[in-house]
Structure 1
């Protein structure tokens, strides 16, 4: 039985990934700071506890990452980095603590733990790493460029990691995601017609193929390509 390690497993998308990986016959190591919420989710969803390990993981506690990985009950075949943190852009500009927390969770924590994982060449199981990124990282926009910069950095890290691991036949995917109906977006004024459900996005994670950049939903694919090609003068007019 193959094992998937989900880091930041308390996110709404990650919880749906747990369900879908179990349905595909995987065992799951679900790692998060909020273990109570994960345990409640497992109980209320009637998931097979014999195939789930719930572990404590703090993305921003870099010093703990090496021991966390060394103590895993089994080394994973697939790793999903789903940890995320968001504060309003104006708050990030005036309160560096909020900006720093986004950097630590969205980018630095991912680099820290994934480096430990990929440098373990004794783990012959490892076959795929999937990172959850965002369309906010495609181009800098004045409404969310601090958050977007953390996602842009993470995407570039994953791109280089894909090249680094290609000789070992390990696939790296970046999910470049638009608006999702999740707790992290509660209270934000977002275009309802572009909202995706967590289980919909999770299907793209669980069924990731060989392509590096995966953009769920055809509307977001169009937006992704427009953003990449849009002249700087027009990007400056976006919110």
Structure 2
């Protein structure tokens, strides 16, 4: 339902499957969308194929790894956002990350360093009186270190902790910070992985939790993943070590 909010959401890493669903759902709620990604052509094709009103969406180039460009990118936004969503992500196999630092480094840059760089700029702009919410997409992989994915998980753990502190920093300005702690999603990033089908969520389902975020810091979509999340947090180390 279009609520005619006259508000703007900035989606960073907007080419992901979940982010594209967020674009559709934010537009349905009456938001204008600034969709930013390295692959602007894919976003333009998405806008065309979904018959999205071009007056409601702006597609911009954004590279999470190009830290030096972030201030200029923000300064040149056509309008400063009410909501900022960081959805950029990168994943390589843990074995590869252990043996080839370039893969590990790219995960650190995309999942954490790039996020901190641009979100610091957005958060510290006190002239933007419209900013009301920052949302970051993290992962259950960051809840506890497990031998199958701890390099990737460490980048998500760092991002979650950053967002927790940012929430405290911005509380006095009444700006809400949320983290989506997400399990398996049927997306490009998970193609080819052997995952439990009963636990896989669809991108549009996850997007609903992002678009409808309230005041709670940690948001865990799906009751099964909520149970797993709480178990992981309290599981003794000796049992965590037995997990894959």
Give 1:51-200 correspondences, 5 Å limit. Answer: 51-200=56-205
**Which of 11, 15, 18 pairs up with 1:13?**
18
Deviation digits for residues 59-99 of structure 1 (CA, Å, limit 9, x no counterpart):
01100000000000000000000000000000000000000
The whole-number CA distance in structure 1 between the counterparts of 2:18 and 2:220 is 14
- SS for the counterpart of 1:202 is helix
Instruction: Give the equivalent residue in structure 2 for 1:25.
Output: 30
The whole-number CA distance in structure 2 between the counterparts of 1:119 and 1:234 is 41
Instruction: Give the equivalent residue in structure 1 for 2:39.
Output: 34
Instruction: Give the equivalent residue in structure 1 for 2:222.
Output: 217
Q: Which runs of 4+ in 1 moved over 3 A?
A: none
- SS for the counterpart of 1:181 is coil
Unaligned runs of 5+ in 1: none
Aligned-pair distance for 1:48? 1.3
Tell me the matched-pair count. Answer: 239
Instruction: Give the equivalent residue in structure 1 for 2:3.
Output: none
Unaligned runs of 5+ in 2: 1-5
**RMSD between aligned alpha carbons?**
0.3
Question: Structure 2 length as normaliser, TM-score?
Answer: 0.98
The whole-number CA distance in structure 2 between the counterparts of 1:63 and 1:233 is 43
